Amino acid sequence: MRTKINYDEFTVTFENEISEKALFNYYSILIDFLVEKFGKDAVRMALEKLIQED
């Protein structure tokens, strides 16, 4: 079961170094937020375009 996150009150704190897991979790939350706001097709197309830019 998914838990809804209140993005207005969500804070990401890194101590010393950014860990791979923390960074992955941050981007997962960001993508979830964007999908909710713009829809999965728009986010998918934007990510594909970003990946192709190299």
Tell me, yes or no, if the pTM score tops 0.75.
no
Contact status, residue 25 vs residue 11, Cβ threshold 8 Å: no
Rg (CA), the chain: 13
Would you give per-residue pLDDT tens digits along the chain (54 residues)? 566 666 667 666 666 666 777 778 888 889 999 999 999 999 999 999 989 986
